[in-house]
Structure formats: C-alpha cells, structure tokens
Amino acid sequence: MIGSEYLWPSRLHASQHLSTRQYARILREWVLSIGLEPSGYGTHSMRRTKVAQLYKKTGNLRAVQLLLGHTKMDSTVRYLGVDLDDALALSEGVDL
C-alpha cells in the first residue's frame, strides 16, 4: 500500500474508505454465512470481544486501556465489566 491508500477502500466514488455502515453489512453477512444470529453480533461487540479475550489471557488491564484509547482506568474496567479491585490486582502483577 502507498501512503493514503485504505486497506478497505469504498466501492463508492464519493468516499475513499469503507463506511461504518458498509462494515456493519459485511459483518452481518459473515455472521449469517456461518449460521449465527446477527442480532447477537455487531461491530462494537467484536471490538469488545477482542480486548476482553486479551484481558482474560494476560490480565493486563493497562494494555487493554491503551488499545481502547481510554484515558481513565475505571472506564476500561466498566467497559470490560470486571470488578475494579480484581482488575487492579491483576494489572499490578503485569509489567508493560
């Protein structure tokens, strides 16, 4: 790829990149193609799933916070739905 080329270019000439709506349609088609219920999966749930799995495997709350772009640790804890004390204890045990 060169400079400003997008990984997923738009098929519309008015836009250079794939829109969030186009991405949502593609995801819905993928979910349907493997026989799952699309109402249980979405673009945001896929984002949450990746970082939730990362947190579960590493216990590294700080890495998850950085990946999500959260400025406050408590935002990340709420986002993941974990207990703050447990999350902080795990986080303190892992160095970045």
Is the CB of residue 55 less than 8 Å from the CB of residue 62?
A: no
**How many domains is the chain partitioned into structurally?**
2
Quick: pLDDT tens for 10-32.
777 667 777 788 888 988 999 99
User: Which backbone phi and psi does 6 adopt, to 5 degrees?
Assistant: -95, 145
Q: Which domain holds residue 72?
A: 43-92
Same domain, 51 and 78: yes
Quick: pLDDT tens for 28-47.
999 999 999 988 887 777 77
Same domain, 61 and 29: no
Same domain, 50 and 60: yes
Q: Which of 71, 25, 64, 29 lies closest to 47, judged by CA?
A: 64
Q: Which of 96, 40, 30 lies closest to 63, judged by CA?
A: 96
